[in-house]
Chains A and B, each alone.
Chain A
Amino acid sequence: MQARDPEGETIIRDLIHKKGLDCVKEVHTSKLLTLKVEAESEEDALNLTFTACNDLRLYNPVAHSISIRAGHV
Protein backbone atom coordinates (compact mmCIF):
# COMPACT_ATOMS: atom_id res chain seq x y z
CA MET A 1 0.00 0.00 0.00
CA GLN A 2 1.46 3.31 -1.07
CA ALA A 3 0.93 6.47 0.95
CA ARG A 4 -1.25 8.98 -0.87
CA ASP A 5 0.70 11.90 -2.29
CA PRO A 6 -1.87 14.73 -2.50
CA GLU A 7 0.63 17.18 -3.98
CA GLY A 8 1.46 14.73 -6.79
CA GLU A 9 -2.25 14.08 -7.33
CA THR A 10 -2.94 17.81 -7.72
CA ILE A 11 -0.04 18.29 -10.14
CA ILE A 12 -1.20 15.52 -12.46
CA ARG A 13 -4.93 16.26 -12.19
CA ASP A 14 -4.99 20.04 -12.29
CA LEU A 15 -1.97 20.81 -14.44
CA ILE A 16 -0.58 17.94 -16.52
CA HIS A 17 -3.87 16.31 -17.55
CA LYS A 18 -5.62 19.64 -18.01
CA LYS A 19 -2.93 20.48 -20.55
CA GLY A 20 -3.70 17.28 -22.43
CA LEU A 21 -0.65 15.24 -21.40
CA ASP A 22 -2.68 12.10 -20.80
CA CYS A 23 0.37 9.92 -21.42
CA VAL A 24 1.60 10.91 -17.93
CA LYS A 25 0.11 8.30 -15.62
CA GLU A 26 1.49 9.14 -12.19
CA VAL A 27 3.29 11.98 -10.43
CA HIS A 28 5.02 11.54 -7.11
CA THR A 29 6.72 14.37 -5.28
CA SER A 30 9.91 13.84 -3.35
CA LYS A 31 12.53 15.65 -1.35
CA LEU A 32 16.11 16.14 -2.50
CA LEU A 33 18.94 16.46 0.00
CA THR A 34 22.40 17.27 -1.34
CA LEU A 35 25.24 16.25 0.97
CA LYS A 36 28.86 17.31 0.50
CA VAL A 37 30.91 14.42 1.94
CA GLU A 38 34.65 14.12 2.52
CA ALA A 39 35.71 10.54 1.75
CA GLU A 40 38.57 8.52 0.27
CA SER A 41 36.46 7.23 -2.59
CA GLU A 42 33.05 7.54 -4.20
CA GLU A 43 32.11 4.16 -2.77
CA ASP A 44 33.02 5.29 0.75
CA ALA A 45 30.96 8.45 0.29
CA LEU A 46 27.98 6.44 -0.89
CA ASN A 47 28.27 3.99 2.01
CA LEU A 48 28.57 6.77 4.56
CA THR A 49 25.55 8.57 3.08
CA PHE A 50 23.53 5.37 2.99
CA THR A 51 24.34 4.70 6.66
CA ALA A 52 23.46 8.25 7.66
CA CYS A 53 20.15 8.13 5.78
CA ASN A 54 19.17 4.93 7.57
CA ASP A 55 20.57 5.53 11.05
CA LEU A 56 19.33 9.13 11.28
CA ARG A 57 16.11 8.47 9.35
CA LEU A 58 16.93 11.26 6.90
CA TYR A 59 14.10 9.77 4.85
CA ASN A 60 10.85 8.36 6.16
CA PRO A 61 11.33 4.58 5.95
CA VAL A 62 7.64 3.88 6.61
CA ALA A 63 6.23 5.90 3.73
CA HIS A 64 9.08 6.65 1.36
CA SER A 65 11.90 4.95 -0.53
CA ILE A 66 15.36 6.36 -1.04
CA SER A 67 17.78 6.60 -3.93
CA ILE A 68 21.39 7.77 -3.49
CA ARG A 69 23.67 8.99 -6.28
CA ALA A 70 27.22 10.33 -6.21
CA GLY A 71 28.79 13.11 -8.16
CA HIS A 72 32.19 14.75 -7.81
CA VAL A 73 32.40 18.34 -6.57
Chain B
Amino acid sequence: MKIEATLVWHNEFKSDAFDAVILPGGFSFGDHLRGGIIAAHSPAMEGVRKMAGEGRPVLGICNGFQILIESELLPGSLLRNSSLRFICKWTDLQVDNVDTAFTCAFERGETVRMPIAHNEGRFFGEEQLLNSLTADGRVVMHYLNENPTGTSQGIVSISNDDGNVVGMMSHPERASDISLGGTDGLRVFGSMLEWMR
Protein backbone atom coordinates (compact mmCIF):
# COMPACT_ATOMS: atom_id res chain seq x y z
CA MET B 1 0.00 0.00 0.00
CA LYS B 2 1.45 3.34 -1.00
CA ILE B 3 0.10 6.53 0.50
CA GLU B 4 2.01 9.77 0.38
CA ALA B 5 1.46 11.49 3.73
CA THR B 6 2.45 14.86 5.14
CA LEU B 7 2.33 15.97 8.76
CA VAL B 8 0.35 19.18 9.10
CA TRP B 9 0.81 21.86 11.76
CA HIS B 10 -2.36 22.80 13.61
CA ASN B 11 -1.98 26.50 12.81
CA GLU B 12 -1.76 26.03 9.06
CA PHE B 13 -3.40 23.58 6.73
CA LYS B 14 -3.79 24.11 3.00
CA SER B 15 -6.50 21.53 2.51
CA ASP B 16 -6.71 21.92 -1.28
CA ALA B 17 -3.37 20.12 -1.58
CA PHE B 18 -4.73 16.89 -0.06
CA ASP B 19 -7.09 14.10 -1.08
CA ALA B 20 -7.86 13.01 2.49
CA VAL B 21 -7.04 13.95 6.06
CA ILE B 22 -6.50 11.87 9.20
CA LEU B 23 -6.69 13.39 12.67
CA PRO B 24 -4.57 11.00 14.72
CA GLY B 25 -4.83 9.92 18.32
CA GLY B 26 -2.75 11.23 21.19
CA PHE B 27 -3.48 14.28 23.28
CA SER B 28 -4.13 17.84 22.16
CA PHE B 29 -3.70 20.85 24.46
CA GLY B 30 -3.34 18.44 27.39
CA ASP B 31 -6.97 17.40 26.92
CA HIS B 32 -7.78 20.37 29.14
CA LEU B 33 -11.49 21.15 29.54
CA ARG B 34 -12.38 18.07 27.43
CA GLY B 35 -10.50 15.89 25.00
CA GLY B 36 -10.55 17.59 21.59
CA ILE B 37 -12.45 20.77 22.50
CA ILE B 38 -9.54 23.23 22.21
CA ALA B 39 -8.10 21.56 19.10
CA ALA B 40 -11.56 21.80 17.52
CA HIS B 41 -11.00 25.56 17.36
CA SER B 42 -7.54 25.28 15.70
CA PRO B 43 -7.10 27.15 12.40
CA ALA B 44 -6.37 23.81 10.68
CA MET B 45 -9.92 22.69 11.40
CA GLU B 46 -11.24 25.17 8.84
CA GLY B 47 -9.54 23.07 6.18
CA VAL B 48 -10.81 19.84 7.72
CA ARG B 49 -14.34 21.23 7.73
CA LYS B 50 -13.97 22.23 4.06
CA MET B 51 -12.74 18.77 3.08
CA ALA B 52 -15.57 17.12 5.00
CA GLY B 53 -18.11 19.32 3.22
CA GLU B 54 -16.64 18.51 -0.17
CA GLY B 55 -16.91 14.78 0.44
CA ARG B 56 -13.21 14.08 0.82
CA PRO B 57 -12.31 11.35 3.35
CA VAL B 58 -11.82 12.60 6.92
CA LEU B 59 -10.86 10.12 9.63
CA GLY B 60 -10.56 10.92 13.35
CA ILE B 61 -8.81 8.32 15.47
CA CYS B 62 -9.20 8.48 19.27
CA ASN B 63 -8.31 12.13 20.10
CA GLY B 64 -9.06 12.84 16.44
CA PHE B 65 -12.55 11.40 16.95
CA GLN B 66 -12.97 13.66 19.98
CA ILE B 67 -11.93 16.63 17.83
CA LEU B 68 -14.49 15.72 15.12
CA ILE B 69 -17.20 15.49 17.78
CA GLU B 70 -16.25 18.78 19.40
CA SER B 71 -16.17 20.36 15.91
CA GLU B 72 -19.72 19.04 15.42
CA LEU B 73 -18.63 17.25 12.25
CA LEU B 74 -19.93 14.14 14.03
CA PRO B 75 -22.76 14.00 16.59
CA GLY B 76 -22.82 12.80 20.18
CA SER B 77 -20.31 13.04 22.95
CA LEU B 78 -17.28 11.12 24.23
CA LEU B 79 -17.29 10.97 28.04
CA ARG B 80 -14.80 9.52 30.50
CA ASN B 81 -14.81 5.73 30.54
CA SER B 82 -17.30 4.37 33.06
CA SER B 83 -14.41 2.86 35.06
CA LEU B 84 -12.81 6.34 35.19
CA ARG B 85 -9.61 4.62 34.11
CA PHE B 86 -7.40 4.84 31.03
CA ILE B 87 -7.97 1.58 29.17
CA CYS B 88 -5.39 0.14 26.77
CA LYS B 89 -6.22 -3.26 25.30
CA TRP B 90 -6.99 -5.21 22.15
CA THR B 91 -10.69 -5.46 21.40
CA ASP B 92 -12.94 -7.44 19.08
CA LEU B 93 -15.14 -5.23 16.94
CA GLN B 94 -17.97 -5.87 14.53
CA VAL B 95 -18.08 -3.85 11.33
CA ASP B 96 -21.66 -2.62 10.90
CA ASN B 97 -21.37 -0.13 8.05
CA VAL B 98 -19.21 -0.75 4.99
CA ASP B 99 -20.52 2.24 3.06
CA THR B 100 -17.88 4.60 4.43
CA ALA B 101 -14.56 5.89 3.19
CA PHE B 102 -12.75 3.87 5.85
CA THR B 103 -14.62 0.55 5.90
CA CYS B 104 -15.57 -0.08 2.26
CA ALA B 105 -12.93 -2.84 2.01
CA PHE B 106 -14.55 -4.81 4.88
CA GLU B 107 -17.50 -7.20 4.86
CA ARG B 108 -20.63 -6.15 6.74
CA GLY B 109 -20.84 -8.09 10.02
CA GLU B 110 -17.16 -9.00 9.92
CA THR B 111 -15.24 -9.31 13.20
CA VAL B 112 -11.96 -7.42 13.38
CA ARG B 113 -9.37 -6.80 16.10
CA MET B 114 -7.90 -3.43 16.96
CA PRO B 115 -6.58 -1.90 20.16
CA ILE B 116 -8.10 0.98 22.12
CA ALA B 117 -6.10 3.31 24.37
CA HIS B 118 -8.05 6.13 25.96
CA ASN B 119 -9.63 7.69 29.02
CA GLU B 120 -12.48 9.59 27.33
CA GLY B 121 -14.09 7.24 24.85
CA ARG B 122 -17.51 6.44 26.28
CA PHE B 123 -19.73 7.41 23.37
CA PHE B 124 -22.93 8.95 24.64
CA GLY B 125 -25.99 10.33 22.91
CA GLU B 126 -29.65 10.88 23.69
CA GLU B 127 -31.93 8.00 22.72
CA GLN B 128 -33.14 9.92 19.67
CA LEU B 129 -29.58 10.25 18.36
CA LEU B 130 -28.78 6.59 19.03
CA ASN B 131 -31.94 5.53 17.23
CA SER B 132 -31.18 7.71 14.21
CA LEU B 133 -27.56 6.51 14.04
CA THR B 134 -28.79 2.92 14.00
CA ALA B 135 -31.65 3.58 11.57
CA ASP B 136 -29.39 5.48 9.17
CA GLY B 137 -26.63 2.85 9.37
CA ARG B 138 -24.15 5.36 10.75
CA VAL B 139 -22.80 3.08 13.47
CA VAL B 140 -19.60 1.95 11.76
CA MET B 141 -18.27 -0.48 14.39
CA HIS B 142 -19.25 -1.70 17.85
CA TYR B 143 -17.54 -3.75 20.54
CA LEU B 144 -18.16 -7.49 20.51
CA ASN B 145 -18.38 -9.67 23.64
CA GLU B 146 -17.65 -6.81 26.05
CA ASN B 147 -18.11 -3.09 26.55
CA PRO B 148 -14.85 -1.97 28.20
CA THR B 149 -15.70 1.73 28.36
CA GLY B 150 -19.45 1.65 29.03
CA THR B 151 -20.18 3.24 25.67
CA SER B 152 -23.83 3.52 24.50
CA GLN B 153 -24.85 0.37 22.62
CA GLY B 154 -21.19 -0.64 22.44
CA ILE B 155 -20.55 2.02 19.80
CA VAL B 156 -16.87 2.52 18.99
CA SER B 157 -17.11 4.22 15.59
CA ILE B 158 -19.65 6.38 13.74
CA SER B 159 -19.84 8.23 10.43
CA ASN B 160 -21.59 11.25 8.97
CA ASP B 161 -24.51 10.87 6.56
CA ASP B 162 -22.31 10.68 3.47
CA GLY B 163 -19.85 8.20 4.95
CA ASN B 164 -16.81 10.34 4.14
CA VAL B 165 -16.30 11.48 7.76
CA VAL B 166 -15.59 8.69 10.24
CA GLY B 167 -14.53 8.79 13.89
CA MET B 168 -13.28 5.75 15.77
CA MET B 169 -11.92 5.19 19.27
CA SER B 170 -10.03 2.11 18.06
CA HIS B 171 -6.52 2.51 16.64
CA PRO B 172 -6.19 1.07 13.11
CA GLU B 173 -2.60 2.31 12.85
CA ARG B 174 -1.67 0.10 15.81
CA ALA B 175 -3.13 -2.90 13.99
CA SER B 176 -1.35 -2.35 10.69
CA ASP B 177 1.57 -4.74 10.86
CA ILE B 178 1.91 -8.33 12.01
CA SER B 179 4.74 -7.25 14.33
CA LEU B 180 2.22 -5.02 16.16
CA GLY B 181 -0.14 -7.93 16.70
CA GLY B 182 -2.54 -7.63 13.78
CA THR B 183 -3.24 -6.18 10.36
CA ASP B 184 -7.00 -5.50 10.40
CA GLY B 185 -6.34 -1.79 10.81
CA LEU B 186 -4.42 -1.65 7.56
CA ARG B 187 -7.69 -2.25 5.74
CA VAL B 188 -9.06 1.01 7.14
CA PHE B 189 -6.41 2.81 5.11
CA GLY B 190 -6.93 0.41 2.19
CA SER B 191 -10.61 1.36 2.27
CA MET B 192 -9.64 5.02 1.99
CA LEU B 193 -7.67 4.30 -1.21
CA GLU B 194 -10.50 2.19 -2.61
CA TRP B 195 -13.05 4.92 -1.82
CA MET B 196 -10.99 7.53 -3.68
CA ARG B 197 -10.57 5.45 -6.86
- List residues of A whose CB falls within 8 A of some B CB: 1, 3-4, 6-7, 10, 56-58, 60, 62-63
Are B79 and A63 in contact (CB-based, < 8 A)?
yes
Known: A6-B80, A56-B41. Is A62-B33 also a contact (CB below 8 A)?
Answer: no
Cα distance A57–B34 in the bound complex, in angstroms: 10
List chain A residues, Cβ under 8 A from B70. 57
Cα distance A1–B127 in the bound complex, in angstroms: 7
Are B82 and A62 in contact (CB-based, < 8 A)?
no
Are A60 and B82 in contact (CB-based, < 8 A)?
no
List chain B residues, Cβ under 8 A from A1. 126-127
Are B124 and A58 in contact (CB-based, < 8 A)?
no
Cα distance A3–B37 in the bound complex, in angstroms: 19
Residue of A nearest to B41 (CB): A56
Q: Can you list 20 A-B contacts with CB-CB less than 8 angstroms, sorted by A residue number?
A: A3-B77, A3-B124, A6-B82, A6-B83, A6-B150, A7-B84, A10-B84, A56-B41, A57-B40, A57-B70, A58-B33, A60-B77, A60-B79, A62-B76, A62-B77, A62-B124, A62-B125, A62-B126, A63-B79, A63-B124
Q: Is the interface of A mostly helix, strand, loop or mixed?
A: loop
List chain B residues, Cβ under 8 A from A60. 34, 77, 79
List chain B residues, Cβ under 8 A from A4. 82, 150
Are A3 and B84 in contact (CB-based, < 8 A)?
no
- The 3 closest A-B CB pairs, nearest first, are A62-B77, A63-B77, A3-B124
Residue of A nearest to B81 (CB): A6
Known: A1-B126, A62-B125, A63-B124. Is A57-B82 also a contact (CB below 8 A)?
Answer: no
Are B124 and A57 in contact (CB-based, < 8 A)?
no
Cα distance A3–B34 in the bound complex, in angstroms: 16
0/1 interface trace, chain B 62-89, chain A, CB 8 Å (1 if under): 0000000010000111011011100000
Cα distance A60–B72 in the bound complex, in angstroms: 11
Cα distance A29–B80 in the bound complex, in angstroms: 12
Q: Give the distance to chain A from B130, nearest Cβ to Cβ, in Å.
A: 9
Are B79 and A57 in contact (CB-based, < 8 A)?
no
Q: Give the distance to chain A from B31, nearest Cβ to Cβ, in Å.
A: 13
Are A57 and B84 in contact (CB-based, < 8 A)?
no
Cα distance A4–B84 in the bound complex, in angstroms: 11
List chain A residues, Cβ under 8 A from B124. 3, 62-63
Other A-B pairs, 16, CB within 8 Å; known A6-B82, A63-B124: A1-B126, A3-B77, A3-B79, A4-B82, A6-B84, A7-B84, A56-B41, A57-B37, A57-B40, A58-B33, A60-B77, A60-B79, A62-B75, A62-B77, A62-B124, A62-B125
